């Protein structure tokens, strides 16, 4: 056995062990948000901190570095593309991890565990002051982390890179400025339109058990494998899990609104399909992992926005939905349902926002995070700044912190730099969909008949199975023939909402 082969096999064994430990961390993180009794919060934070320390030790194991020293770029030309990718990704991860002190890793993990329940309580009690100290400490830790891993980089750019590798503020800011210029006037035109779709039938009493059955059926129809995943309830919908064979999606239910839970399930199913569709080779190795959060978000928004909010989808599922809630939807049609679920109404909550106002929710958070990191915004001033920006961009002002600055869970986990991924994902999704329709011209007919297999297979082949074999920029070029282009997203929104609201 050659030295290269032996070193690679040793590397794989160590990487698989790290992946399994990360899987355990993901599972107890899921339990923390879904099933854990509140009284276990303190011990759970200690458990998470201990496990984070173990993972850090494995990542900084000298033997791992020894393997990587042997597997230098000039020595691995005979290996496969996937094997070389595993080595490159492992080297990057090990290099970054080695720069972070174990103390900092453990403190961030412990604070994340503790802060989630503090955020939940602050949100329930409408007391931002209870959460503010946590937020201040997390900002300090994330700035320290940025200085460790990317000492020459702007701290917020370093945090963005954690989710959108290779992307910086200088690229995001012009895209978001363009969206503000286009969408704020369009939203105003929609609000001023003399034609407003009827949405009253979407409000009423919708039994949760029926909501659960409908959501599960549609999730399964579009391809989620429940023998390798499950669906539960959490405060904030998310997709997690430990492995492509153990994917966990969650939603939340309100008896007065079935659309929120249904489309949250479809959104999280999109994430789940990405995880379940990862390459079959080396599923516990870096090459098989999802690319960036923006690409991941493109898959959830692809299914939620491009597919499930389309006319063909509404046409296919309307009778099923009406049969589930006959008292509420009596006398309605697939067309009225399509218009209702795509209605535009600026409101307070990001996860309940329509696709036209949603980007402005993201831009608001992005601009606030930029300010928090460069010092132009203080944590204590956040509620007021949040309200000012909401009014400036969407014409509404949250009456409480619960409906404003406390609504998202991200900051309780220290996930700064994550929010841009949502709107980058929407732009990716629109561009991917456009390319798919070119290659699969029967797409709309397939959706209208409930045949989602060609769509799922196309996404598996073009995106899910690609793992980390190329950069996000290379993937977009590979799939669409051009770099990320927000023009398609802007045109899509203009065309769709001009038609629904009869603006021309």
Region of residue 402 (phi > 0: left; psi between -120 and 50: alpha; otherwise: beta): alpha
Rounded alpha-carbon distances, angstroms, from residue 255 to 139, 202, 205, 207: 37, 11, 5, 6
| Residue 85 CB coordination number (10 Å) | 21
Phi, psi of 450 (to 5 degrees): 75, 20
Q: How far apart (Å, rounded) are the C-alpha atoms in residues 475 and 467?
A: 10
Q: Which helix (H) or strand (E) holds 312?
A: helix 311-324
Q: How far apart (Å, rounded) are the C-alpha atoms in residues 70 and 146?
A: 29
Q: Which two tokens stand for residue 242?
A: 């430990």
Q: Is 19 helix (H, G, I), strand (E, B) or coil?
A: helix
Radius of gyration of the chain (CA): 23
Phi, psi of 35 (to 5 degrees): -125, -20
Q: Which two tokens stand for residue 130?
A: 């209870």
Helices (H), 60-101: 62-70, 81-98
Active site residue 182: no
Determine which one of 164, 182, 268, 275 is catalytic. 268
| Residue 504 CB coordination number (10 Å) | 6
Q: What is the 3-state secondary structure (H, E, C) of 337-404?
A: HHHHHCCCCCCCCHHHCCCCCHHHHHHHHHHHHHHHHHCCCCHHHHHHHHHHHHHHHHCCCCCCCCCC
Q: How far apart (Å, rounded) are the C-alpha atoms in residues 154 and 370?
A: 10
Phi, psi of 279 (to 5 degrees): -50, 145
Q: Is 229 helix (H, G, I), strand (E, B) or coil?
A: strand
Catalytic residues: 268
């Amino acid at each position: 056995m050659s030295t290269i082969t032996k070193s690679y096999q040793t590397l794989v064994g160590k990487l698989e062990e790290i992946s399994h430990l990360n899987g355990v961390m993901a599972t107890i993180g899921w339990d923390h948000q879904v099933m854990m009794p509140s009284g276990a919060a303190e011990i759970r934070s200690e458990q998470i901190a201990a496990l984070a320390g173990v993972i850090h030790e494995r990542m900084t194991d000298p033997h791992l570095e020894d393997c990587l020293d042997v597997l230098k770029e000039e020595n691995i030309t005979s290996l496969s593309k996937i094997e070389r990718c595993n080595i490159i990704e492992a080297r990057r991860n090990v290099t970054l991890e080695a720069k972070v002190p174990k103390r900092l890793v453990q403190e961030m993990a412990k604070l994340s565990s503790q802060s989630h329940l503090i955020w939940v309580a602050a949100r329930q009690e409408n007391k931002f002051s209870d959460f503010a100290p946590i937020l201040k400490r997390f900002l300090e830790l994330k700035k320290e982390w940025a200085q460790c891993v990317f000492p020459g980089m702007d701290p917020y750019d370093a945090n963005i890179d954690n989710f959108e590798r290779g992307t910086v503020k200088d690229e995001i800011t012009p895209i978001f400025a363009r969206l503000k210029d286009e969408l704020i006037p369009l939203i105003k035109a929609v609000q001023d339109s003399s034609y407003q779709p009827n949405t009253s039938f979407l409000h009423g009493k919708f039994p949760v058990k029926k909501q659960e059955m409908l959501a599960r059926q549609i999730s399964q129809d579009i391809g989620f494998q429940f023998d390798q995943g499950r669906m539960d309830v959490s405060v904030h919908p998310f997709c997690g899990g430990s492995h492509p064979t153990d994917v966990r999606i969650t939603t939340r239910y309100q008896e007065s609104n079935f659309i929120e839970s249904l489309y949250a399930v479809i959104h999280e199913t999109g994430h789940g399909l990405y995880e379940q569709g990862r390459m079959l080779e080396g599923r516990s190795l870096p090459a098989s992992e999802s690319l960036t959060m923006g690409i991941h978000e493109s898959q959830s928004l692809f299914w939620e926005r491009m597919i499930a909010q389309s006319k063909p989808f509404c046409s296919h599922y309307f009778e099923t939905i009406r049969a589930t809630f006959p008292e509420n939807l009596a006398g309605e049609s697939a067309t009225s349902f399509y218009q209702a679920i795509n209605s535009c109404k600026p409101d307070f909550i990001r996860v309940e926002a329509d696709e036209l106002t949603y980007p402005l929710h993201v831009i608001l958070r992005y601009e606030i995070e930029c300010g928090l990191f460069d010092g132009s915004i203080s944590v204590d001033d956040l509620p007021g700044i949040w309200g000012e920006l909401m009014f400036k961009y969407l014409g509404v002002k949250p009456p409480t912190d619960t409906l404003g600055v406390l609504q998202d869970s991200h900051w309780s986990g220290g996930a700064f730099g994550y929010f841009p991924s949502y709107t980058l994902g929407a732009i990716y999704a629109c561009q991917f969909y456009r390319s798919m329709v070119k290659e699969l011209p029967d797409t709309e007919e397939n959706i209208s008949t409930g045949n989602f297999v060609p769509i799922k297979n196309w996404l598996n082949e073009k995106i899910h199975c690609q793992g980390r074999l190329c950069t996000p920029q290379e993937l977009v070029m590979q799939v669409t023939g051009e770099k990320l282009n927000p023009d398609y997203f802007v045109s899509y929104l203009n065309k769709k909402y001009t038609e629904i609201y009869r603006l021309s």
